[in-house]
Amino acid sequence: MKKTTLGLALVVTLGLTACNSANQTTHTKNESTTSVNQSFEQFAASLIDSYWQHYPEASSYAGYGKYDDIISIPNAQTRASNNTFNEAQLDALQQFDINTLSANQQTDYYLIKNRLQKSLWHNQTFKSWQWNPSNYNVSGGFALLLNNRFKSTDEKLNLVLNRLKFVPDYYQAAQNNIENPTLEYTQLAIQQNQGAFSVLDDSLLEMLSSSNLSSADKALFKGRFADAKAAIHGYIDYLIKLEKELVATDSARSFRIGESLYEQKFAFDIQSGYTAKQMYQKALADKGRVTSEMICITNKLWPKYFPATPQPENDIQAISKLIKHLSAKHVDKHKFVDEISTQIPALEAFVKEKDLITLDADKPLVVRKTPEYMRGYAMASISSPGPYESKGNTFYNVEPLGDMDDEKASSYLREYNHWILQILNIHEAIPGHYTQLVYANKSPSLIKSLFSNGAMIEGWAVYTERMMLEEGYGNFEPEMWLMYYKWNLRVICNTILDYAIHVEGLSKEAGLDLLMNGAFQEQAEAQGKWRRATLSQVQLTSYYSGYREIYDLREAQKVKLGNSFDLKIFHETFLSFGSAPVKYITKLMQ
């Protein structure tokens, strides 16, 4: 008995010793993990501080504020310095074992690595600083300062005063960089730099005269202001001469970047689980599926709108005729911007009624005409405050149509007709870009907010279009669904167009045919999209690729959670991770 007791006691003692040892090991491991996590957080915070020093303009757009009075000179010395910085930070990042980081930190790790490698690739391989003259424009930084609603007039003018001194050297460096540019980027640079004078105009001198700046500072301001305007005029004159030479000699660089660069840029910009070619092939398949849906709706609506007219046997012709008929319902060109403003409250009310996502009333959305220095690229866009200045205004930029001739304006208005204008507002405003970017600024990870993924941002906006209709926006009206599919087909064809242009050499005629006859777009919209595709690479694919991944994630979550799936929880959980690539958010949600 004693032996048994002793044996039992020994077993218990050994068991306790083993447990204590295991607990001690676990405790030590937890301490080690915590230490690694803290070290990574310190590294990320330090990297951001250093990043802003090397990229002061980016810090201003993020709302950081510390370097608002600095314009970096885009010369070889700056590029070399930035390369050295990115390489050093990559070396430091690789000291961390990613398997020891938390799920959120792993995502940050990938985002940091992608941003640093992408910066090096842009400087050393892509080299758009040589062939894209529109890279160089000081207007945005000045406009950001002057539109700041939290700074006094004197504070703004002092910052502008400091920034002005960099402008002459900035444009001299820009001119020195230009080598074998594309004609399209040269023309865009002329247009947008001419728009710079809508920001740096004489109203600044009126502000100056009534300010509290000293006489010496006022005199200095006027001198620098004149020098800055002269520098911009000089750059424009240089570009106009360059444009004439490019046209006369037919020596401009092609805007097509080719398959190798396209695949590399796609990997950096989209951060998808697919290659660019695979996404292109998925888009081709989805184009057929969406067209089939449109055929079904057209068959249903034809008797309503054309009771005395036989339906064409050619389905594409039938869809096109019905869309053209419906597209005649649109707002007057002079009321285009006002109509957008009017629709925003209705979207807010629907989202609240259906309890789809929580909206933040303290984050204002301001609809405005697109500033001149930003025009010529997109019909509508969002300019949001950065995470450091999250209470600033978010601007919904809308290209005004009032000054267009009637024919061109009519074409745009048929494209952005009664139904599609509502879908556009869902995409750009609520619960699309505006809502997502408000959530992104609340992300606990500053990395995810700052090093954001464009495909997730655009994909969310596209996802909300369908989600809102699924939840009853538009009262399940078949006309709304037909126009939605037309709009969605545009997103799909964006991917097809962009890839086909840059990789397969698609001609302008074939591209316009794809958009107008394959995606039922108006001529003005199709021509605008062609122009955009010549002024960008990969970005047009971000809408479709992000949308597909988000929608597929939601459907998988529905299957996984069954009756416990809650759409609002899904939305707010998804957005809580910031603007990270969808493939990483998927891992975090699972």
Query: What does the alpha-carbon distance between residue 68 and residue 58 come to, in Å, rounded to a whole number?
Result: 10
CA distances from 305 to 167, 301, 459 (A): 59, 7, 34
Query: What does the alpha-carbon distance between residue 201 and residue 322 come to, in Å, rounded to a whole number?
Result: 47
- Residue 499 Ramachandran class (φ > 0 left, ψ -120 to 50 alpha, else beta): alpha
Which residue from 427, 484, 479, 481 is spatially nearest to 457, judged by alpha carbons?
427
Residue 336's contacts (CB-CB under 8 Å, 6 or more residues apart) are 398, 400, 401, 402, 413, 416
Which residue from 133, 120, 125, 171 is spatially nearest to 253, judged by alpha carbons?
133
Query: How far is the first Cα of the chain from the last one, in angstroms, to the nearest whole number?
Result: 54
- Listed range (80-94, 356-370, 568-582) with the worst mean pLDDT: 356-370
Decide if pLDDT at 440 tops 70.
yes
Q: Is 100 exposed, middle or buried (0-12, 13-18, 19+ CB in 10 A)?
A: middle
Decide if pLDDT at 91 tops 80.
yes
* pLDDT tens string 46-66: 999 999 999 999 999 888 989
User: 547: helix, coil or strand?
Assistant: helix
pLDDT at res. 375: 81
Decide if pLDDT at 28 tops 60.
no
* CA atoms within 13 Å, Cβ hemisphere of 529: 29
* 377: confidence class by pLDDT, cuts 50, 70, 90: low
AA identity, residue 259:
E
CB 407 within 8 A of CB 420: no
Query: What does the alpha-carbon distance between residue 72 and residue 193 come to, in Å, rounded to a whole number?
Result: 18
User: 460: helix, coil or strand?
Assistant: helix
What are 78-87's contacts with CB under 8 Å, separation 24+? 79/123, 79/129, 81/54, 82/54, 82/55, 82/119, 82/123, 83/120, 83/123, 83/124, 85/50, 85/51, 85/54, 86/116, 86/117, 86/119, 86/120, 87/120
Query: What does the alpha-carbon distance between residue 142 and residue 147 come to, in Å, rounded to a whole number?
Result: 9
How is residue 561 written in tokens? Answer: 């959670």
How is residue 293 written in tokens? Answer: 């849906």
CA torsion sign for 561, 562, 563, 566 is: positive
**For a pLDDT cut of 70, what percent of the chain falls above it?**
94
Peptide bond into 431 cis (omega under 30): yes
How is residue 572 written in tokens? Answer: 């707010």
User: 369: helix, coil or strand?
Assistant: strand
pLDDT at res. 30: 54
Q: Is the whole model's pTM more than 0.85, yes or no?
A: no
pLDDT at res. 172: 98
Residue 381's contacts (CB-CB under 8 Å, 6 or more residues apart) are 370, 374, 396, 397, 428
Decide if pLDDT at 451 tops 60.
yes
AA identity, residue 40:
F
CA distances from 167 to 39, 225, 406, 569 (A): 40, 9, 39, 48
Decide if pLDDT at 29 tops 70.
no
CB 211 within 8 A of CB 157: yes
CA 21 to chain centre: 52
CB 299 within 8 A of CB 310: no
Instruction: Tell me the backbone φ, ψ of residue 417, rounded to 5 degrees.
Output: -80, -170
* pLDDT tens string 143-175: 999 988 789 999 999 999 999 999 999 999 999
Residue bearing the bigger pLDDT, 295 or 374? 295
Query: What does the alpha-carbon distance between residue 222 and residue 243 come to, in Å, rounded to a whole number?
Result: 31
Query: What does the alpha-carbon distance between residue 258 and residue 52 come to, in Å, rounded to a whole number?
Result: 32
- Listed range (136-150, 320-334, 371-385, 435-449) with the worst mean pLDDT: 371-385
* CA atoms within 13 Å, Cβ hemisphere of 531: 16
Residue bearing the bigger pLDDT, 370 or 273? 370
Decide if pLDDT at 381 tops 90.
no
* pLDDT tens string 511-543: 999 999 999 988 888 999 999 999 999 999 999
Query: What does the alpha-carbon distance between residue 419 and residue 415 come to, in Å, rounded to a whole number?
Result: 10
Q: Domain-by-domain residue ranges, the chain?
A: 38-126, 132-253, 266-589
Radius of gyration of the chain from its Cα atoms, rounded to whole angstroms? 27
